[in-house]
Amino acid sequence: MRAVLVVDDNTAVRMVLTDFLTMAYPMARILQAENGAKGLALAQAERPDVVLMDAEMPVLDGYAAAQQLRQAQDTRAIPIIAISSGASNNELVKGLRSLADSSLPKPFTADELLQTVSTVLARRTMVLTH
């Protein structure tokens, strides 16, 4: 894996996720963005292997950012994992989850995070090799 993009407006969440991912994937670059607009720009520029996306953020929410990623030819295949503490009946959360390859409700453990990332990446590899 080359790069993972963590998009969350909570600095502590980004730091914890970065620590977990750095330990699990020491050769990967862990990119961070504090809102959907910056996350979208980073995804377009860096083409990460996977994006961890929160739903409720300032500037551009995760659902709108995921919609734009899915609509663009060069980013539509990047797997998205929805990470959100919002209620499952929240429209932004439901929308993001509908576009995501997987969903991980907060709070989650490091093991749950790494298992989800591993599963999503394995699925992507299977699709790319067939």
Domain boundaries, the chain: 3-129
Positive or negative, the Cα torsion across 37, 41, 47, 48?
Answer: negative
Sheet holding 29-33: strands in order across?
29-33, 3-7, 50-53, 80-84, 102-105
- What's this model's pTM, rounded to 2 decimal places? 0.93
Separation CA 98–CA 27 (nearest Å): 31
pLDDT tens readout for residues 65-110: 999 999 999 999 999 999 988 666 688 899 999 999 999 998 999 9
DSSP secondary structure letters along 72-96: STTTTTS-EEEEE-S-TTSHHHHHH
pLDDT tens per residue, range 8-35: 999 999 999 999 999 999 999 999 999 9
Q: Which residues contact 119 (CB under 8 A, 6 or more apart)?
A: 102
CATH class label, 3-129: alpha beta
